[in-house]
Structure 1
């Protein structure tokens, strides 16, 4: 069923009204969610009418409609891609068997852990971004922030539905806990470290939505292969929404770069001090932000060697990115993959069993995808006639997980001493001064069609609306 029923208290396309126990449980969770949104969602947005897209179907041809919605009245719901009755498991030890419609007992704990970890990232990013509306560089950007936020909230609903429907009391308790942890909380933080970092300014937000939401894309693509069919169908629809979040990041950073290049050409200088004095963000600062967000995000893929990754794959819980397009045997027994190690103060490659290196396989797929977007940013600099180029740092740079945790490596991939790291780290990662400067630019601009000085307008508006459309009506 692709249409979504909005007449119910919880919009859905899963025939929720036919399962009264589940419906009651989710209706009991709903007020706690709305209270969390009020307490931890976008600050000061309670009376705003925002031009948002809302899912009305899961048909890729016409799945969303746009219109002004009061922020707290957004209808969060439960949407799964249509099922395929003949779907087979296509990797791992159960390859060729029918996909599971329920949770096999022996995989229950691992599946619950996967769903909880994914679910925990969704409200975390809303919490990280909750103050950004107060410093939006335009109405267009404010609207995009709110669109990202409501969809992260929707993705939380997607995971909570699975927990409630398939995991009994354990699932209900985990669903409650998803609203009790808070990003950066000293006593009850979010599960993954990147989701406890602050997102204090819009350059951080754009980098986060480019790099960290891209991690979301790769994790969701791996889960969309799952033998557990409801998880695969849920994550496939989440990916439809996730694409906009990465667009916000890529186009946002691109517009910052475009504006900086304009001013570099006007002033005929690449001197960071002169560019900062002119109120734009110099390219070396953009590079340092890039280095930070990229390195924090590639840690999210986990340790380079992981027995859990091997178990998740062999048991059919989580596949590889685009599993169906790969030409191997989809079981991977006896196959190897190269990971990095440090020997004698040098980075070296070593072969390890591929099943144990599946986090690294996914990380490498992600890196390739990330680099493509950075090249698109470089095209903007090239088009402005400037020689500067941005680049992603070496994957061993600034790592805190796995074999490379704590090894000091330059952005070029050279192992360096503690003293050299300390001498150069301010060239490589954002300094307190960088962050203070970027924060100083964050003044709120809310007149339709007007933009802060440090960012260029977009090429076109949302849903074919003009750039100066009234995206947000302030109550």
Structure 2
């Protein structure tokens, strides 16, 4: 459960190979994601080796493995925190019942909207920050920027996995749309207004990582309590990466 096999086309700890339909769907989505990264990812960065952190397992001692990698070759993957078979719902009218392993029909639309909105912020912030690497104050700042960018990309993968795995055709269409919207686009903007603003300079970036990522952390903490267990486990692992984003804002 804890180890992640990096020879897989899509590194994961969710036994993707055991679900061929899901695996094919995500492998179909992957080239579109890589094309989006080429078009909208960090400007002028694609040819350089960058010293980046990658998860090799979801255990506390395994999620931070450092190596040099060209960013388009970064191994984005699908990582969920380990399942707790005893987990209960802690609030609301279902309090005390077992956490849901599948989407309850009456909450399907709301859960999909939450996951899509969360997923939409991830590529949006990369689009907002794509020109910052050209004016980095130092190599240290540049590496922090690129680390945040690849992790926001992985957070997009996290939400896309949930959409594909649990929401059928609707989920696949929503996952495609996550790559079709664009930050600040007049015709097809990102869902939340804050993610359509420009991030023109490094002061704006530090404010973003201090305030907006702090808001993101509280949102992820809330989702980590979700009665829908796969969403809770997904966001729980995302929080380990989000801590670094806020550190950049605090220390910038």
**What's the TM-score, normalizing by structure 2?**
0.99
Aligned to 1:387: none
Aligned to 2:183: 183
Aligned to 2:197: 197
Aligned to 1:167: 167
Deviation at 1:146, TM superposition (A): 0.3
Moved more, 130-139 or 56-65: 56-65
Aligned to 1:90: 90
Aligned to 1:213: 213
Aligned length in residues: 252
Aligned to 1:32: 32
CA distance in 2, matches of 1:89, 1:192: 28
Native 8 Å contact 2:58 2:80 kept in 1: yes
Aligned to 1:108: 108
Q: Which runs of 5+ in 2 are unaligned?
A: none
4+ runs deviating over 6 angstroms: none
CA distance in 2, matches of 1:197, 1:3: 39
* Pair member with larger Rg: 1
Deviation at 1:67, TM superposition (A): 1.1
Q: Which runs of 5+ in 1 are unaligned?
A: 253-475
Deviation at 1:61, TM superposition (A): 2.7
Deviation at 1:101, TM superposition (A): 0.3
Aligned to 1:75: 75
Aligned to 2:151: 151
Aligned to 1:22: 22
Aligned to 2:228: 228
Please give the per-residue CA displacement for 1:25-78, whole angstroms capped at 9, x wherever unaligned: 000000000000000000001111001000111001332101111111000000
Aligned to 2:62: 62
Deviation at 1:3, TM superposition (A): 1.3
CA distance in 2, matches of 1:29, 1:206: 32
Q: Matches of residues 18-417 of structure 1 in structure 2 within 5 Å?
A: 18-252=18-252
Q: Identify the structure with bigger relative contact order (alpha carbons < 8 Å, sequence gap 6+).
A: 2
**What's the TM-score, normalizing by structure 1?**
0.53
Please give the per-residue CA displacement for 1:231-287, whole angstroms capped at 9, x wherever unaligned: 0000000000000000011100xxxxxxxxxxxxxxxxxxxxxxxxxxxxxxxxxxx
Partner secondary structure for residue 179 of structure 1: coil
